[in-house]
Amino acid sequence: MANSISATLDQSSQQSKGATNDFLMGIPPYLYAVVFSSLCVIVGLIWDICWHLSIGRDGLLSPPHLVIYVGAIVSGLFSGYQVLYTTFKGSASQKAQSVKVWGVFYSSLGALFCIWGALMMLTSAPFDDWWHNTYGLDVQILSPPHTVLALGIIGVQFGAIVSVLSAKNQLAQAVFGNLQTPRRIHRLQLLFALAAGFLITMWYTLLSEELGAREMHNASFYKITAIAFPFLMLAFGRGIGGKWPISSVMAVYTGVMCLTLWIIPLFPAEPKLGPIWNHIDHYQGFAFPLMFIVPALIMDWILRRFTYLNDWVMATVMGLVFVLTMLLIQWPLGEFLLESPHSRNWFFGTHYYYFGNDPNWEYRFKYAPWQLQSISDFWIGMAYALGFGILSARVGLVWGKWMKKIQR
């Protein structure tokens, strides 16, 4: 009887291990952990913005802050464990694939970014609490403590990207006699799309004050997006490869923005900091996503179809595609989001409003005169946007080549 039970337990254990290995597909749990951390910090950050819009002052241990701290702690602990394990128990080949730090420790490049990012995030917490106690509520996203936090978040998110890329590039050189190798590469491409999409969402959040519906009829909107996004899109597209890499990344960005916009306002909240001009009883949403997914689809198709193009020619085409596509989509979308009553619903979320603003402001749902440009000023600005887009795309193509070579 005892032997029978022992055999059954052994069989069950083997099945459990097999199921776990099949789920992980030979991919280190560390990679799942840092991608999860990247998700935590961006969701916590958007929740924190909604908290400020809806409630006002937050404390050191407010729920959004706790989600951000969880991301930092998970990233730091898993990365630290990886460094210590490689240093003291790693094989010679594992150490050869690592970066030597301070002459003692062996670490992957991604783990270094994650550790320093986590330390910066945790350092920003007491700094932010002191700042609020001293100067009151922030009037902008990038206050000094928030800047430290943002740099830390970018460090964690970029570390997750580099970690996944390193694993994928190492695996791509493996012998494909193992039938699981293509499946693992596909899984790593999915993890990369998630990590890169979370970073794009973070990048957009930092710039969101200049990228609202009111700015979509101003050339400054197109200049900022042309500088800030093509280089990331093309770096990710060339860096990870696959059929639709840029579109996958931008789909993750779109999904995160939409889900937070649709879910967070379902929960009750009320202002706790005066003056209160706009009386609300639920969270106010953040923002409807920009339509990056459309230029992303076109850019993916061009990357796959015209691989033979010189990089400067490719950058010119990509910059032109990005700027013109954004203009054709965001100009009418901006007018719809700001002025149309059909946008004031849970889907588009344009009826959400900061509790400290007067809800009866005469320009709440229309463009103010000082926000409009002359035709000549607008098209001069668009010419600059096109130039910025081409240069940004060129940087992205160079950066993408470097990302394809990461193996540490």
Amino acid found at 261: L
Could you tell me where the beta strands, DSSP code E, fall in 59-156?
A: 99-101, 105-107
Return the pLDDT at 18: 42
Q: Enter the tokens of residue 325.
A: 């596509």
Residue 381 vs residue 105, higher pLDDT: 381
CA dihedral (133, 138, 142, 145) in degrees, to 10, reads 10
Cα 294 to the center of its chain, rounded Å:
18
pLDDT in tens, 233-248: 999 998 887 789 999 9
Hey, what are 40's tokens? Answer: 């935590």
Calculate what percentage of the chain has a pLDDT beyond 90.
Answer: 43
pLDDT in tens, 110-152: 788 888 888 888 887 777 666 666 666 655 566 677 777 778 8
Give the span between the Cα atoms of 68 and 76, in whole angstroms: 12
* 232 vs 141, more confident: 232
Distance CA 168, CA 189 (A): 8
Q: Average model confidence (pLDDT) for the chain?
A: 84
What is the predicted pLDDT for the residue at 178?
52
Task: Flag whether pLDDT at 161 surpasses 70.
Answer: yes
pLDDT for res 2: 41
Q: Give yes or no for residue 209 having a pLDDT over 50.
A: yes
Q: What is the mean pLDDT of residues 297-306?
A: 93
Gap between the Cα atoms of 109 and 125, Å rounded: 25
Give one word for 138, left, alpha or beta, with left for phi > 0 and alpha for psi -120 to 50.
beta
What is the rounded average pLDDT of the residues 213-241? 93
pLDDT above 80 (res 15): no
Q: Provide the b/e sequence for 256-269 (b: ≥16 CB within 10 Å).
A: bbeebbeebbeeeb
Reply yes or no on whether the pLDDT at 5 is more than 90: no
Query: Among 373, 341, 363, 103, which residue's Cα sits nearest to residue 219?
Result: 373
Residue 255, token pair as written in the block = 């999904």
Is 80 exceeded by the pLDDT of residue 4?
Answer: no
What is the mean predicted confidence (pLDDT) over 209-231?
95
- Burial class of 341 by CB neighbour count within 10 A (0 to 12, 13 to 18, 19+): exposed
Which residues, 6 or more positions from 308, have their beta carbon under 8 angstroms from its beta carbon?
none
- Please, which pLDDT band fits residue 3 given cuts at 50, 70 and 90? very low
> How does pLDDT run across 324-370, given as a tens digit for each residue?
999 999 999 999 999 999 999 999 999 999 998 999 999 999 998 88
Q: Which of 166-175, 366-375, 396-405 has the lowest mean pLDDT?
A: 166-175
Q: What is the percent of the chain where pLDDT is above 70?
A: 86
**pLDDT tens by residue, 54-105:** 988 777 778 888 998 898 888 888 888 888 888 887 777 777 777 777 777 7
Lowest-confidence region among 14-28, 163-177, 365-379: 14-28
In 241-292, which ranges are continuous DSSP H helix? 245-263
pLDDT in the model for residue 307: 82
Q: Which of 6-20, 70-84, 278-292, 302-316 has the lowest mean pLDDT?
A: 6-20
For the ranges 11-25, 95-109, 248-262, the maximum mean pLDDT occurs at 248-262
E strands in 301-369: none
Tell whether the model's pLDDT for residue 16 goes beyond 50.
no
- Residue pLDDT, tens place only, 169-207: 776 665 444 545 677 878 888 898 999 999 999 999 989
Is residue 218 within 8 Å of 268, Cβ to Cβ? no
Beta bridge partners of 107: 99
pLDDT at res. 172? 62
Report residue 118 as tokens.
């986590």
| Total-model pTM | 0.86
The residue with greater pLDDT, 179 or 27, is 27
Q: Look-up: residue for tokens 């609490």?
A: 129
Which ranges in 90-217 belong to alpha helices (H)?
92-96, 109-135, 144-172, 180-207
CB atoms under 10 Å from CB of 81, counted, come to 14
pLDDT at 395 over 50: yes
The owner of tokens 């779109």 is 254
**Cα separation of 214 and 209, whole Å?**
10
- What is the maximum alpha-carbon separation in the chain? 90
